[in-house]
Chain A
Amino acid sequence: MKQLTEITTPFGEVASAKTLPGSELGWLQQLRDKARAQFERHGLPAKKVEDWKYTSLWALSQQGFSHDAKAVSLDKTELSHVAALEDAYRFVIVDGRFSAELSELEGLEEGLSIKPLVDGLEGAQTMLGEQIDVEKPGLNAINTMLMHEGMVLQVQAGKTINKPVELLVISTAENQKLASHLRNLIQLEADAEVTLLEHYVSLADTEGFTDVVTEVKLAEKATLNHFKLQHESLAHYHIATLASKQAAGSHWHTNNISLGGKLARNDIHSQLLGEEAHVTMDGLYLVTGDQHVDNHTRIDHAVPNTTSDEVYKGVLDGNSHAVFNGKVNVHKDAQKTDSSQSNKNLLLSRSCEIDTKPELEIYADDVKCAHGSTVGQIDEQHLFFLRARGLDETAARSLLTYAFAVDVLQRIKSAPMRQALSNVIEKRLPKGA
């Protein structure tokens, strides 16, 4: 395939292939070329593609994003208001560029390594791209072509990292209409454990586009407590893939909170490839106005004796639209699979819309699978009870909304993480105040 120096994407951006990290690595060039060929063949997913039935990328493709960001300086005190975790290692990306000054990566615990993508590519050949399917309709191909920044995190065998890691991705008003293509690589060796928060936030009404792929590889008995808080501006586009391969006995606890964005899409995929592997897929989406949020999750129980537990909750207001699609695939020999999935939605307005669909495909016979989805409104009896106890209607409604959502938070084991995420959510759903 001929080597182009410029890449044109449907987002109107032009990037010079030479300036992308890893241009000297042959295997990476091949990967990028393959992705480009893939993208040129298929383009953006059309609405007739089942997985994109409810989410159109047309508006996104009309935005004319730019790829080049001017350097932005933020001061550290400003950053402290934005960060979710107080006591954490912090990897900060501002307008698509890693900021060493704003990051807190001094004195990492033994066994923990955190690097920007450009420094982590060397030796990533067996990791990068392994967890995702570039052919899948979506943005994996574009991300592979254009990825230019991200975090590479590794934990050595047997190490439990005590402090959590916050990957803080900030969009500022200094670079409007900026597209960032981020790739994070998270690799835990056997028996390693770490807690990670991916935190995406805007400092103003940014109209940017965050395209991010996070790949996770968990060796035997590794545990990753993996949180995501997407809190970008209501004019922002956010499209993400989060994909893992899990070896025997590994645990991947995910919790995906979507509050922001004009359009937010998450494709979350776990492949349970070793016995006793477990995944928790939790999520909460709170949308209002014209927001659109789409969570597609998929769990592959590929071998016997694996477990999954999934609770997604949504609160919709205004004219918002939410989509939940939860696939659980129990492969032919995956006996003794234990899988439970639920998606519950609370509609606060008449003009919001939810499309929820659990999809179970079971090819083994000795399995336990439970799933269900509900769509409801505030219970009038509950509302009357609270009002009869003196709470005004607004306070009663917001308390009941908070109460609906709270069990996703209660399922978070780490108290500081639970507190940090509750604080953000309480701002959106005042606890009956």
Chain B
Amino acid sequence: MLEIKNLHASVEGKEILRGINMTVNPGEVHAIMGPNGAGKSTLSNVLAGREGYEVTQGEVIYKGENLLDLEPEERAQRGVFLAFQYPVEIPGVSNIYLLKAALNAVRKYQGLDEVDAIDFLNLVRDRMKLVKMDEQFLHRNVNEGFSGGEKKRNEILQMAVLEPALAILDETDSGLDIDALRVVAEGVNALRAEDRSIVMITHYQRLLDHIVPDFVHVLSEGKIVKSGDKELAKELEKSGYSWVHDAPEGQTA
């Protein structure tokens, strides 16, 4: 599904990612943990194609294609989905309009006709139940006036409607209270599938109590300094991130 090889990236001349290696197979859930400023959002932005990030070395292969050669929309159309750490508010664009436009963009790439109006409404209603969102949110502008938790749920709603092959969730748990966290986690769990991979970025272990990952990686100063299974996250919870700085170069589990 996704193969990241020796990825180096810098922002404004400053190197942030310093040689990331990671392989995600279909159906797997990977967690990336790490302290603030480690480069977690940078990695997700590079994967989604945001401007301003310069890849200086390495490559990313997604479903056999060189992901970094594609425009952001081409990545999205091919099934790469980024749930943003800070979802933006878009005045004047209703949620339902966005969902439909996004779904049709994917369908167009897949050679399908635009979604039928009734099928679309049924799909959206079904997926809204998954994230326990009220239908009134459909007619509100994207994220405008939403609470922090509502914005995060809205991201997961978009994911649920678009059914991506690779979902990257950037701190979807941060800023959520425990009930909201549970709702979001249930939504994500319901979307786990054999042909869908999920990369979860988080600062805290608590999300991993709800969405149990197959692999856990620790990112620090632009490198993956440790990889393991879900037990690694528990270890981190006990000892915090302070040790990662002392970890020897290139150590992986």
Q: Chain B's interface: helix, strand, loop or mixed, by majority?
A: helix
CB contacts (< 8 Å) of A395 on chain B: these are 101, 105
Contact of A388 among B72, B91, B101, B109 (CB under 8 A): B72
Q: Are A392 and B73 in contact (CB under 8 A)?
A: yes
Q: Are B71 and A389 in contact (CB under 8 A)?
A: no
- Which stretch in B4-12, B20-28, B76-84, B236-244 binds the other chain? B76-84
B93 to chain A, nearest CB (A): 5
Given known pairs A385-B84, A389-B102, the reply for A404 and B72 (CB within 8 Å) is no
Q: Are A403 and B106 in contact (CB under 8 A)?
A: no
Contact of A390 among B51, B91, B93, B102 (CB under 8 A): B102
Contact of B92 among A381, A396, A404 (CB under 8 A): A404
Interface-centre pick from A385, A390, A405 (highest chain B CB count, 10 A): A390
Q: Are B88 and A389 in contact (CB under 8 A)?
A: no
A380 proximal to B (CB < 8 A): yes
CB contacts (< 8 Å) of A405 on chain B: these are 92
Taken together as a complex, chains A and B put the C-alpha atoms of A388 and B98 apart, in Å, by 12
Interface 0/1 of A379-407, CB less than 8 Å to B: 11110111111111101100110111111
Taken together as a complex, chains A and B put the C-alpha atoms of A391 and B92 apart, in Å, by 16
Given known pairs A385-B84, A388-B82, A432-B101, the reply for A393 and B73 (CB within 8 Å) is yes
Taken together as a complex, chains A and B put the C-alpha atoms of A388 and B159 apart, in Å, by 12
Q: Are A390 and B88 in contact (CB under 8 A)?
A: no
Q: Are A392 and B48 in contact (CB under 8 A)?
A: no
CB contacts (< 8 Å) of B84 on chain A: these are 385, 388
Interface-centre pick from B71, B77, B84, B91 (highest chain A CB count, 10 A): B91
Q: Are A392 and B51 in contact (CB under 8 A)?
A: no
Given known pairs A380-B51, A387-B76, the reply for A392 and B92 (CB within 8 Å) is no
CB contacts (< 8 Å) of B87 on chain A: these are 385
Chain B contact residue count (CB 8 A cutoff): 27
A401 to chain B, nearest CB (A): 9
Given known pairs A384-B51, A395-B101, A432-B101, the reply for A389 and B92 (CB within 8 Å) is no
CB contacts (< 8 Å) of B91 on chain A: these are 403, 407
Taken together as a complex, chains A and B put the C-alpha atoms of A384 and B51 apart, in Å, by 8
Q: Are B93 and A384 in contact (CB under 8 A)?
A: no
Residues of A in contact with B, size category:
20 to 34
Q: Are A391 and B102 in contact (CB under 8 A)?
A: yes
Taken together as a complex, chains A and B put the C-alpha atoms of A80 and B27 apart, in Å, by 58
A154 to chain B, nearest CB (A): 39
Given known pairs A382-B90, A403-B90, A406-B92, the reply for A389 and B105 (CB within 8 Å) is yes
Name the CB-closest residue of B to A399: B93
Residues of chain A in range 415-433 having any CB-CB distance to chain B below 8 Å: 431-432
Q: Are A387 and B73 in contact (CB under 8 A)?
A: yes
Taken together as a complex, chains A and B put the C-alpha atoms of A424 and B50 apart, in Å, by 34
Q: Are A389 and B93 in contact (CB under 8 A)?
A: no
B158 proximal to A (CB < 8 A): yes
A130 to chain B, nearest CB (A): 40
Interface-centre pick from B73, B75, B88, B106 (highest chain A CB count, 10 A): B73
CB contacts (< 8 Å) of B90 on chain A: these are 382, 385-386, 400, 403
B49 proximal to A (CB < 8 A): yes
Name the CB-closest residue of A to B100: A432
Taken together as a complex, chains A and B put the C-alpha atoms of A297 and B178 apart, in Å, by 53
Contact of A385 among B88, B97, B106 (CB under 8 A): B88
B34 to chain A, nearest CB (A): 22
Contacts from B to A (Cβ < 8 Å):
48-51, 71-73, 75-77, 82, 84, 87-88, 90-93, 97-98, 101-102, 105-106, 109, 158, 162
Jot down 22 A-B pairs with beta carbons below 8 A, ordered by A: A384-B51, A385-B84, A386-B90, A386-B101, A387-B49, A387-B71, A387-B73, A388-B50, A388-B72, A389-B158, A389-B162, A390-B73, A391-B73, A391-B101, A392-B71, A392-B73, A400-B90, A400-B92, A403-B91, A403-B93, A404-B92, A432-B101
Q: Which 9 A-B pairs have the closest CB atoms?
A: A403-B92, A390-B105, A390-B76, A389-B102, A387-B72, A387-B73, A406-B92, A403-B93, A390-B77
Beyond contacts A392-B73, A395-B101, A403-B93: 13 other A-B pairs, Cβ-Cβ < 8 A, are: A384-B72, A385-B84, A387-B72, A388-B73, A388-B75, A389-B98, A390-B102, A391-B101, A391-B105, A400-B92, A407-B91, A407-B92, A431-B97
Contacts from A to B (Cβ < 8 Å):
379-382, 384-393, 395-396, 399-400, 402-407, 431-432
